[in-house]
Amino acid sequence: MNKSAFHQLSYGVYVISTWDKGRATGCTANSAMQITSSPATIAVSINHDNYTNQCIQDTGKFAISILGEHSSPGIIGTFGFKSGKDCNKFDEVEHTVKGYLPVVSDACAYITCEVVDKMETSTHTVFLGRVLDADILKKDAPMTYSYYHNVIKGRSPKNAPTYIE
Ligand X SMILES: Cc1cc2nc3c(=O)[nH]c(=O)nc-3n(C[C@H](O)[C@H](O)[C@H](O)COP(=O)(O)O)c2cc1C
Interface residues with ligand X (CB under 6 A) are 13, 25, 27-31, 45-47, 50-52, 76, 79-85, 124, 148, 154, 156-157, 159-161
| Min dist. Cβ of residue 129 to ligand X (A) | 14
Q: Are 148 and 154 in contact (CB under 8 A)?
A: yes
Indicate the DSSP class of residue 141. Answer: P
Query: Rounded to the nearest 10 degrees, how much is the dihedral formed by the CA atoms of 95, 101, 107, 113?
Result: 170
- Are the C-beta atoms of 36 and 54 separated by less than 8 Å? no
Measured from the CB atom, is 81 or 130 closer to ligand X? 81
Q: ω before 161 within 30° of 0 (cis)? A: no
Q: For the chain, what is the largest distance between any 2 Cα atoms, rounded to a whole number of angstroms?
A: 45
Least gap, CB of 46 to ligand X (angstroms): 4
Nearer to ligand X, 126 or 134 (CB): 126
User: Measured from the CB atom, is 27 or 42 closer to ligand X?
Assistant: 27
CA R_g for the chain: 15
| Nearest to ligand X of 14, 98 (CB atom) | 14
Q: Name the closest residue to ligand X (Cβ).
A: 80
Residue number, 39 or 66, with CB nearest to ligand X: 66
Alpha helices in 26-112 (DSSP H): 51-59, 73-80
Q: How far is the CB of 111 from ligand X (least distance, A)?
A: 15
Q: How far is the CB of 31 from ligand X (least distance, A)?
A: 3
By DSSP bridging, strand 61-66 and strand 124-136 are: unpaired
